[in-house]
Amino acid sequence: MNLVADERYWKSLEQLVAKSRVVIDRPKGTRHPRFPEMTYPFDYGFLEDTTGNDGAEVDIWRGSIEGGAITGVTCTVDLMKKDAEVKILLGCTPDEIAVIHEFYNTGVYMNGLTIIR
């Protein structure tokens, strides 16, 4: 059993991203539509014409590194929604990844595990 994401996983994610349009529907600094106390620290959006675990599109975070290479993923569990998802990190620096990880691990209902590429 391989407990570390191998290169095939990252290549598959690269193909998914390459074949999809990135849509940013929550730009950096905007508030969550249902939870106004949550502010997005970086651009947040989705890959158009994809499907994630929650039935909506696959979510992405976009950081400041030009080119938007995949720098990791965050796997989340939301006890309020009773779901689990994978969010792709595009062009995120190590500091940005740490902020995103903290974003998912400060509340009561949501937790995240971040896998860095």
Instruction: Tell me the pLDDT tens digit for each residue of 30-43.
Output: 998 988 988 999 99
Residue 63 located in a structural domain: yes
Bigger pLDDT: 4 vs 82: 82
Residue 3: pLDDT above 80? no
Q: In this structure, what CATH number is given to the domain that contains residue 49? A: 3.90.80.10
| Predicted pLDDT at 4 | 64
Residue 1 located in a structural domain: no
For residue 109, give the amino acid letter: Y
DSSP character string of 9-55: HHHHHHHHHHTS-EEEEE-TTPBPSS-TT-B-SSEEEEETT---TTS
Tally of domains within the chain = 1
Instruction: Tell me the pLDDT tens digit for each residue of 5-19.
Output: 688 999 999 999 999
Range of the domain at 20: 7-116
Residue 1: pLDDT above 50? no
Instruction: Tell me the pLDDT tens digit for each residue of 63-111.
Output: 999 998 999 999 999 998 899 999 999 999 999 999 999 999 988 888 9
